[in-house]
Amino acid sequence: MPAVLEIEGLRKTYKSRRRGVRHALDGFDMLVEQGQVHGFLGPNGSGKTTTLRTLLGLIRPNGGRMAILGQEVPDALPAVVGRVGAIVESPQFFPHFSARDTLSLLAGAGEVPRTRVEEVLELVGLRDRAAERVKTYSLGMKQRLAVASALLKEPKLLILDEPANGLDPGGIREMRTLMRDLAASGMTVVLSSHILGEIQLICDSVTIISLGRRVAFGPVEQVLAAHSRGAVRVRLEAVADLPAAADALTRAGVQVTARPDHLMLAGVDKPAAVSRLLAENGLYVSELAPVTVDLESVFLELTATAPVPGQHRQVDQSTKVGDGGQPNVAGGGWGV
Amino acid sequence: MSLYRTELRRLGKRRFARWMTLAGLLVLGAVLVGIFLTNHKIGPAERAEAQRKAERQYQLQVRQVEQERTACEQARASGQAQDGRFPPDCEMIEPPPPESADPQWFLPSTFDFRASFGSTLTTFTAILALVGFVVGASFVGAEWSSGGMMNLLLWRPQRLRVLLTKLSALLTGALAVTLPAAALWTAGFWLVGTLRGTTAKTTSGVWQSFALTGLRGLTLIVVAATVGFALASLGRHTAMALGGAIGVVVVGQFGLGIVLAMAGARFVEAWLLPTYMLAWMDKKVTLENWRSCAVSYTGECKPETLELTWQHSSVLFAVGLVLALGAALVAMRRRDIA
């Protein structure tokens, strides 16, 4: 698949006399292939929005290379922007215009046929409220309008920053279906979101950013599989047998964590071997379940942003690639 | 549809721009109506009435003088102490000469188109320049603060082109309002002159002079709109331009004027912006320093003068325009849009 979006070694540095130097993007890489729905994840302040703004020409980078649809940006941005639909961060519109006026003016500026305005209003469910002023809209309705504005151009690449923010459950499901339909029609979608369950459901691949650097990338199932580490949960018929089972498994080289009513095993390649080993020791298994990880737990671990009781994590306290004891990105997958 | 036409549409749809323009035009209308109502045509009846009023005024003055002389003589006869109220000789209290009540003074105000229309163009320019400044600032300032500018740049990532197209649309709008308004203003005052005064001696040379004054007024309106637009774009908020303007007026004009007056500076008005606006419209303003005395060859003491011409004003406005617009364009080109 050809790459629709390529970012290599992107750097953006903010210098302030008071706060010194801050690297918002510190050699960030990203690759999105055609027809994918690609999740772009990262904690607050990790550089997601800076990346998108830089890509779209709103921020000037200090270094690195970017290409959209095979053309180098920002130089070729005026030529390529007609095929890129984007919303960046929260939806912002002039509050005293109606949704129809807002889209109509954008369509005029982008030389898009006016008929397209009604099509996208229908698509995002704002047809009946299109004549009302934007200031009367809820956050979810503004979000729908933002998505409509991004779809006006019938883009080849759609970049959406937190599109589900403020949507009701029905709206989230509609958005999910819309993303899938758009991808099925050949559109490439880059989706930045904190709703990781949605990302896991919608996306084909993900990039995870932390403190301006990529900490993981690849197909979603590959990222999840790489992180599962062969974890298995074991329950026995008799809880009293758990210490003996733990002892037998430890001697066999399995990492065991004892819990009150079960054991958690790590590094198990073949769960059937566990069953056989315990049976040989006269211990009978009532449950043997491979533990699947979700994207949220992978995200929290990779970015080191899982909440710790009694501690208040600050915005910039997350994983930085290349720091001592921190994960490094592995080629073609993700580093642990 | 082109970006330019879209921006024209956007300007037309902006409620604030519409209301502000309407308010400006209503003020102009009120000025016109006010001048119409306070002026009258002078005819034989008005002149006769003025003559009667002048006569009454003169008789009143004569009666007052007679009463005063009688009071003086009574005071002298009663031997009351002279307290300086009356002269030593009561005969010195004489009635005023008949020409002291000139009938001209009692004529109603009349509008002489040739003599007065030029100064009404200054009023016209001042009001529309203010409207232009505020609408210009709001047009781009609200776009920045609402996120509309960022949205637009996602569609047209050519920053300078976008900003200059917006400015072109604004100035087109300013011209579209000013030119018809100027035509109506002229027609309105011609009507005032016809019905409530005179339009005599309005030669082609006079019309040419009015046209040049109008052109200078139009230039000032365009400059004001551009400066408002540039300041709001520079600060990315309407308040930047309005705050800046208020700051200039309060600190730079009132404050500076008071400080310079206290310091005894010469030609304090030369530091004040309205003086240059007036010089621009009237072609020249002569300032006088009443603290100095320049003796003429006849021995007469005349105040020192400083002449400010429209050329001085043009330099000041050009520098202000270039600085404001230049800074806005550089900021647009270089600054990140967050």
| pLDDT tens by residue, B180-233 | 999 999 999 999 999 999 999 999 999 999 999 999 999 999 999 999 999 999
DSSP A330: P
A209: phi then psi, degrees, rounded to nearest 5:
-115, 140
Please provide the DSSP assignment of A281-303 as one string: TT--EEEEEEPPP-HHHHHHHHH
- Residue in chain B lying closest to A106 (CA): B152
- The average confidence (pLDDT) of chain B is 91
* Residue whose token pair is 């530091």: B271
Helix (H) or strand (E) holding B230: helix B204-235
Instruction: Give contacts of B143 with chain A, Cβ < 8 Å.
Output: 94
More confident residue, B126 or B338: B126
Q: What is the mean pLDDT of residues A80-104?
A: 89
Preferred mutation among A13, A22, A58 to probe B, highest tally of B CBs within 10 A: A58
The whole model's pTM is what? 0.81
A125: phi then psi, degrees, rounded to nearest 5:
80, 25
Comparing C-alpha atoms, which of B113, B110, B109, B111 is closest to residue B202? B113
Statement: residue A333 has pLDDT above 70:
no
pLDDT value at residue A331: 34
Classified as helix, coil or strand, B70 is helix
C-beta separation of A322 from A328 below 8 A: yes
B140 to chain A, minimum CA–CA distance in Å? 11
pLDDT value at residue A207: 92
Across the beta sheet with A213-219, the strand order is A84-87, A157-161, A188-192, A37-41, A205-210, A213-219
Determine whether the interchain pair B5/A108 forms a contact, defined as Cβ–Cβ distance below 8 Å.
yes
Confidence of residue A334 (pLDDT cuts 50, 70, 90): very low
Determine whether the interchain pair B13/A86 forms a contact, defined as Cβ–Cβ distance below 8 Å.
no
In chain A the first and final C-alpha atoms are separated, in Å, by 27
Confidence of residue A326 (pLDDT cuts 50, 70, 90): very low
- Least confident piece of the model among A184-198, B129-143, B318-332: A184-198
Q: Does B142 touch chain A (CB under 8 A)?
A: yes
**Phi/psi-derived region of residue A22, left when phi > 0, alpha when psi is between -120 and 50, beta in every other case:** beta
pLDDT value at residue B305: 87
- Residue in chain B lying closest to A55 (CA): B154
Preferred mutation among B151, B160, B168 to probe A, highest tally of A CBs within 10 A: B151
Confidence of residue A297 (pLDDT cuts 50, 70, 90): confident
Classified as helix, coil or strand, B173 is helix
* Residue whose token pair is 């052109």: B215
C-beta separation of B228 from B128 below 8 A: no
CA dihedral sign, ordered B37, B42, B48, B53 = positive
Determine whether the interchain pair A53/B157 forms a contact, defined as Cβ–Cβ distance below 8 Å.
no
Determine whether the interchain pair A105/B337 forms a contact, defined as Cβ–Cβ distance below 8 Å.
no
Statement: residue A99 has pLDDT above 90:
yes
Confidence of residue B337 (pLDDT cuts 50, 70, 90): confident
Q: What is the mean pLDDT of residues B292-320?
A: 86
